[in-house]
Chain A
Amino acid sequence: MTALDAAPLPAAPPALPWWRRWLRLLSHLVWWDMVSLYFGSWAGVLWNFVLPVVVILAYLAIFELTPGFRFGGGRDVVGGFGVNLVAGLIPWMLFQEGVSRAASAFVDNRHVLSQIALPAPLFPLANVGSALVRHVVALAIFAGILVATGHAPTKHWVVVPVMTAVLLVMTAGCALIVACLTVLWRDVAPTVGVAMLPLFFATPIIYPTYVVPGPLRVLMDLNPLSGLVVGYRDLLVTGRWPMDGPTWYSLGVGLVALALGIVLVRRVGPELAERL
Chain B
Amino acid sequence: MSVVARGLGKRYSVRREGAARRGLFGGPPPETYWALRDVDFTVPPGGALGIVGANGSGKSTLLQLVAGVLEPTVGTVEATGRVIAILNPTAGFHPDLSGRANVRMLGALFGLDKRTIEERMDAIIAFSGLEAYVDQALRTYSAGMMIRLGFSTASHLSPDVLVVDEVLSAGDLAFQRRSVGMARTLRDQGCTVLVSTHALGDLATLCDRLMLLERGQITAEGSADEVVATYMQRVDAAGGAIEPGAPLVGGARPTSPTKDVVLSRIVVNGQENPDHVPLQSGEPLRVELHYHARAPVDDAIFRVQLFRNDGLFVHGQNTVRGGLELGTLHGDGVVRLEYDSFGLLGGDYYLSVGVWPDEYRSYTTGEAYDHRPSVGIVHITDKRSDGAGVAGFPARWTHEEHP
Do A and B truly interact? yes
- The residues of A with any CB-CB pair to B shorter than 8 Å are 1-2, 4-7, 9-13, 15-16, 21, 24-25, 28, 32, 36, 39-40, 111-118, 185-187, 270-271, 273-274
* Partner pick for B82 among A6, A12, A40, A273, CB 8 A cutoff: A12
B158 within 8 A of A: yes
Bound-state CA distance A15–B113 (Å) is: 11
Interface size class of B (residues with CB under 8 A): 35 or more
State which of A12, A36, A115, A118 has its C-beta within 8 Å of the C-beta of B88.
A115
14 contacts between A and B (CB under 8 A): A2-B178, A4-B182, A5-B178, A6-B185, A9-B158, A21-B111, A39-B96, A111-B90, A111-B92, A115-B85, A115-B90, A115-B91, A116-B110, A274-B70
Q: How far is the CB of B64 from chain A (nearest CB, A)?
A: 7
Q: How far is the CB of A104 from chain B (nearest CB, A)?
A: 16
B96, A28: Cβ atoms closer than 8 Å: no
State whether B82 touches A271 (Cβ < 8 A): no
Instruction: Decide: A7 and B123 in contact? CB cutoff 8 A.
Output: yes
In-complex Cβ contact of A117 among B67, B113, B189 (8 A): B67
Contact yes or no, B109 A9, CB < 8 A: no
Residues of B within 8 A of A4 (CB): 126-127, 178, 182
B157 nearest in chain A by CB position: A12
Please give me the residue from chain B that is nearest to A21 by CB atom.
B111
Q: Which of A13, A32, A36, A114 contacts B112 (CB 8 A)?
A: A13
Query: B residues within 8 Å of A by Cβ?
Result: 12, 20, 24, 64, 67-71, 81-83, 85, 87-88, 90-92, 94, 96-97, 105-106, 108-113, 116, 119-120, 123, 126-127, 155-156, 158, 160, 178, 181-182, 185-186, 189, 276
Q: Which chain B residues lie closer than 8 Å to A185 at the CB level?
A: 20, 24
* B189/A9 in contact, CB under 8 A: yes
Min distance, Cβ B92 to any Cβ of chain A, angstroms: 4
Q: Is the CB of A12 within 8 A of B90?
A: no
Assess whether A16 is in contact with B111, with CB atoms less than 8 Å apart: yes
Residues A116 and B92 in contact in the complex (CB < 8 Å), given A7-B123, A24-B113, A25-B111: yes
Contact among B71, B94, B113, B160 with A12 in the assembled complex (CB-CB below 8 Å)? B160
Q: Report whether A24 and B111 are in contact in the complex, using a CB–CB cutoff of 8 Å.
A: yes
Choose from A1, A9, A115, A270 the contact partner of B186 (Cβ within 8 Å).
A9
Also in contact, A186 and B20, with CB within 8 A (given A5-B182, A10-B158, A13-B113):
yes
Complex Cα spacing A13 to B123, Å: 16
Q: A4-B178, A12-B160 are in contact. Are A32 and B123 (CB under 8 A)?
A: no
B70 touches A273 (CB 8 A): yes
| Min CB gap A177→B, angstroms | 18
Q: Is the CB of B71 within 8 A of A32?
A: no
Which residue of B has the minimal Cβ distance to A275?
B15
Are the CB atoms of A40 and B96 closer together than 8 Å? yes
Known: A5-B181, A9-B185. Contact between A116 and B96, CB under 8 A? Answer: no
Knowing A11-B158, A115-B69 touch, does A5 contact B185 (C-beta < 8 A)?
Answer: yes
Indicate whether A15 sits within 8 Å of B178 (C-beta atoms), given known contacts A9-B186, A117-B68, A117-B69.
no
Chain B residues whose CB sits within 8 angstroms of the CB of A115 once the complex forms: 69, 85, 87-88, 90-92
Contact status B158-A112, CB under 8 Å: no
CB distance from B14 to the nearest CB of A (A): 11
- State A187–B20 Cα separation when bound (angstroms): 9
Is the Cβ of A117 less than 8 Å from the Cβ of B83? yes
B64 touches A273 (CB 8 A): yes
Across-interface contacts of A7 in B (CB, < 8 A):
123
CA A131 to CA B127, docked complex, whole Å: 39
B83, B96, B105, B108: most-surrounded residue (chain A CB, <10 A):
B108
Q: Are A28 and B92 in contact (CB under 8 A)?
A: no
Cross-chain contact B70 with A15 (CB below 8 angstroms):
no
The 8 A-B pairs of least Cβ separation, nearest first, read A117-B68, A12-B158, A270-B71, A5-B181, A115-B92, A112-B92, A28-B108, A273-B69
A7 to B120, CA, bound (A): 12
CA distance A188 to B300 in the complex (A): 71
Q: Please, how many angstroms separate the alpha-carbon atoms of A34 and B158 in the complex? A: 29
- Would B85 and A117 count as touching, CB distance under 8 A? yes
For B104, the closest partner residue in chain A by CB is A28
Given known A-B contacts A12-B82, A12-B158, A186-B20, A116 and B181 have beta carbons under 8 A apart = no
CB distance from A247 to the nearest CB of B (A): 37
Bound CA–CA A24/B116 (angstroms) = 14
Q: A5 to chain B: closest CB distance in Å? A: 4
Taking a contact as CB atoms under 8 Å apart, the answer to whether B156 and A9 are in contact is yes
Cβ–Cβ contact A118 & B109, under 8 A = yes
Cα of A107 to Cα of B361 in the assembled complex, Å: 57
